[in-house]
Each structure stands twice: as C-alpha cells, then as structure tokens.
Amino acid sequence: MAEDTLPELAQGTPTPDGPMMARPVRPAVTLRSFWGNRSRPEGTGTGIVIVGAWGALVLGSALYRSDFLSHQTLLAVTFTMAIVGVLSVGQALVAISGAILDLSVPTALILPSWAIVSLLGQGINIFLVILAALAVGGAWGLFNALIIVFGKINPIIVTLGTNFAGAAMLNILFENAQTPISSGLAKWGQGKFLGLPNIFWPMLLVVALAGYFVPRSRVGRHMIAVGGSSQAARARGISLRKTRFAVFVISGMLSGVAALLFTASDLYFIPNDGSNFLLPTLATIIVAGIALSGGAGNLWLVLLSVGFISTVTTALAFYGLSDVWQQPPPGAILMIAVSIDGYRRIRSRR
C-alpha cells in the first residue's frame, strides 16, 4: 500500500496506550506497531476493523431486509453524519494535539447557533452570518484556550468547567430559537446536491481539508509534535502556547461550521440540544482510533467512524427497533469497539 494513499498523521513512534487515561510512563524502547512493520500507515488496523464492522452491519441488514440498500437509507445516514462529522474533526484535532478531550462541545455548538439565528432574524446578510458563526465559535475556543494556557490547567477539566457554566448561561440567555423558514440557510439545509444532503458536502470538505493539511502544514505538524511529546516539541523550538491556541481556535471555528449545518437542518432548537452531540462526537473519535494520549490519529478514519456509527441507528430502525431499544446498541458497540482497540494495543506491546 502506498504511503500516501491514506494520509496519516503520526510521524513518529506509535504511543503506547495503556488503560490509564493519564500520560503513561514511556519506555525507552521503541515499540513495534500492530503489524510489526512500521511502513504501514498509522491506523490501518483500526480502519480495517471499522470497515469490517460497517460492512458486516450493512450486509446483515441488507440480508434481513433487501430494501435496506436504498437512496433513502443513504440520505438518512449522511444527514446524521454531517454535524457530528464536523464536530468530530475538531475533537480529533484536540486529541491529536495532546489536549485529550474538549468536553464543551454542547456550548461550542449552541452558542454560534444562537448567534446565527439571532442575526438571521434581523435580516443580516448570509455571508456576514457565516463569518459571525466562525467568529463566535472561534471566540469560544479562544476562551477555553486562554484558561488552559495561562492557567496551565488540563483541558479536560477546563472544558468540563466551562461547559457547566456555558450551557447554564445559554439556558439563562434564551429558551428556544427558530431558523427563519424563509431564509436561504433553511432552504439550503433541507436541500440536496448530487443526491446527497447539502449539509453533507461541507463536512466532507472539512474532513478532506483537515486530512490533507494537518500533516502537511506547519501548524498541523506542530499539533502532532506537541501531542506526541510536549517536552520534545518545546525542545525543537515549537511554541506550545501558539499551538494550543491554534488548536482550540480552529476547533472552535469548526463548531461554528457545525452550527451553520445545525441551524440549516434543524429549524427549531433549545439550548439543551447541544448535549445530544457530545457522546456521539466522543464515540466517533474513539472508534476512529484517535489516541487520547495524543500525537497520532488518522482523520480519514473519522469519516469512516462517523459513517459507521450513523448507520447503526438507521439499521436499528430496519430491525423494528425505532423506539426505546435504540439507545443501548450504540453504547454496546462503543464498548465493543474500544475493547477490541484496547486489546490490540495490549497485544502489540507484548
């Protein structure tokens, strides 16, 4: 397999991933990858597992009901993929850069959404609204980054705190919001392009741009280096501060993009709707094999992962499970997926 078929991001040694959350003790010896062959692109193993599981799901469902393979199913899945996909790219960048997780996804999504809808309601031009969404999203990321960098506090704790406060503030600020039906955004959000939802294509673009530019741009390579080892990165002269700010601002702007897709396709929302997106986002990057210890991760796998997870709930409906039984299976799949992943890592260390 050619090296650049799957653009991978890990440039150095795969990080040893133990069951602990914290940065593990680093052995002096370089570990061999799962295949024992370092020329394999990073994440191939995980990718194969996801594709395999996805394939099995699709095949099984198609055998169970032949009308599973229809354009309707494709639409249902791709609509669901769009918003979570964009949020997952942002989350992946956070994880890859060694900032572990950003738990403030709910606020990061709803704050720009509220801005979008408020501005549209006042008749502001759509291009300005888009800029505003990116700005507000980026500002939230900046806010988190300021606390993380100057407080020198772990991002997972900071974002847990800022989300507690932020989601509550949103509830105090507004009770519900509507995207004007007559607006171009609403019309665009319900439409399709080349047979797939309009909101799907920006997500694809985001994944493609991130997947291409992160390993090739200076900022991206700095992110990976910092995620791999912040001391080593600093020794190489990389500014940790600038990198952290970049990660969170970019991730915040991506939530602004997600907010545009959200308000375009969901025309009426309340502040607490944001909390529906946290778990799927985390599940997506974890199933995609993005190491929470940082320094490695394949953004194309994020696309596969969000596709797989989105297909699960649709498939469940075909099995007659559209009601309360819809909740347990995705959780079980997440558990199984990370168990398989963990097992692979343990075995690769022996």
Partner 1 sequence: MSKLTTRWVRGTLAAAAIVPLMALALVPMNVGAVAAAASAKPFKVCMGTGGQGLNWQTGQGQVLQSIAHKEGWSSVVLSNNNSATTTVNNVEVFIQDGCNAVVEFNPASPGDVPAMQAKFAAAKIPVITFDVPEPGAYFVGIDNLKAGIEGGQMLGKIIKSKWACNLDLLIASHAHGAGTVDTQRTGGMITGVLDECPTIPQSKIVNDEGGGQVSVALPAGRNVLAADPTAKRIAVVGINDSTVVGTIEAAEQLGRSADIIGWGQDGSLVTGANVDPHLLGSVFYFLEGYPEAALPLLKEIAAGHAPPVKDDTHNNPEVLLQPCPVTAAQARNVPGYSARLQKLMQSAAGTTEYALFCPNK
Partner 2 sequence: MTLSSEGVIGAQSPASARQGWGRFTELAGGAVGSIGITLVVVVIVGLTWVGGSFFSKGNMTIIGQAAAVPLLVGTFSGFALLAGVVDLSIGSNAGFCAVVFAYLAAHGWGGWQAAGVVLIVSLAVGTVNAVALVGFGANPIAATLGMLTVLRGLAYVVCYGSAGGIPKLIPGLYSFTNREAGPLPLIFVLVLLFVVGATVVAMRSRVGRHVRAVGGDEVAALRAGISVTRVRSAVLLLSAFGAGLGGILWEGQLGGATNLLGTGLEFQVYAALMIGGYSILRGGVGNPAGGAMGLLVVAGVTDIIDVKAVNTYYTNVIIGILLVLVVFLDRLRGGDSFE
* Nearest residue to 286 (alpha-carbon basis) of 22, 92, 93, 16: 92
Here's the x/- map for partner 2, 109-148, by CB under 8 A: it reads as --------------------------------------xx
Considering only residues 13, 31, 142, 161, which one is a binding residue for partner 2 as defined by CB under 8 A?
161
CB atoms within 10 A of CB 62: 16
Please report whether residue 171 would count as binding partner 1 according to CB under 8 A: yes
Exposure class string for 181-195: b at 16+ Cβ within 10 A, else e: eebebbebbeeeeee
Considering only residues 59, 165, 205, 232, which one is a binding residue for partner 2 as defined by CB under 8 A?
165
Rounded least distance, CB 176 to partner 2, Å:
15
Contact 167, 271 (CB under 8 A): yes
Instruction: Give the interface segment with partner 1, choosing from 134-142, 158-166, 252-260, 269-277 (CB under 8 A).
Output: 269-277
* Number of continuous H segments (helices) and E segments (strands) in the chain: 13, 4
Q: Would you say 32 or 65 has its CB closer to partner 1? A: 65
Rounded least distance, CB 134 to partner 2, Å:
25
Cα 284–Cα 288–Cα 291 angle in degrees, nearest 5: 105
335 interacts with, out of partner 2, partner 1, none, CB within 5 to 8 A per kind = partner 2
Please report whether residue 72 would count as binding partner 1 according to CB under 8 A: yes
Considering only residues 151, 180, 184, 191, which one is a binding residue for partner 2 as defined by CB under 8 A?
151
Distance of alpha carbon 191 from its chain centroid, rounded? 24
Q: What are phi and psi of 37, to 5 degrees?
A: -140, 110
Residues 77-116 that bind partner 2 (CB under 8 A): 100-101
Please report whether residue 64 would count as binding partner 2 according to CB under 8 A: no
18 interacts with, out of partner 2, partner 1, none, CB within 5 to 8 A per kind = partner 2
Contact 198, 192 (CB under 8 A): yes
* Nearest residue to 238 (alpha-carbon basis) of 224, 249, 248, 250: 224
Contact 190, 60 (CB under 8 A): no
87 interacts with, out of partner 1, partner 2, none, CB within 5 to 8 A per kind = none
Looking at the chain, how many residues does it have?
350
Please report whether residue 168 would count as binding partner 1 according to CB under 8 A: no
Give the count of residues interacting with partner 2 (CB under 8 A).
Answer: 61
Q: Which residues contact 6 (CB under 8 A, 6 or more apart)?
A: 41, 43, 44, 47, 298, 300
Q: What are phi and psi of 196, to 5 degrees?
A: -120, 160
Burial status of residue 103 (CB atoms within 10 A of its CB: 0-12, 13-18, 19 or more): buried
Please report whether residue 171 would count as binding partner 2 according to CB under 8 A: yes
Considering only residues 268, 328, 335, 336, which one is a binding residue for partner 1 as defined by CB under 8 A?
268
| Site residues for partner 2 per CB under 8 A | 17-22, 24-25, 100-101, 147-148, 151-158, 160-169, 171-172, 230, 234, 240, 279, 282-283, 286, 292, 323-335, 338-343, 345-346
User: In the complex, which residues of this chain contact partner 1 (CB under 8 A)?
Assistant: 65, 67, 70-73, 75-77, 79-80, 171, 175-176, 178-182, 190, 192, 197, 265-273, 276, 313-314, 316-318, 322-324, 326-327
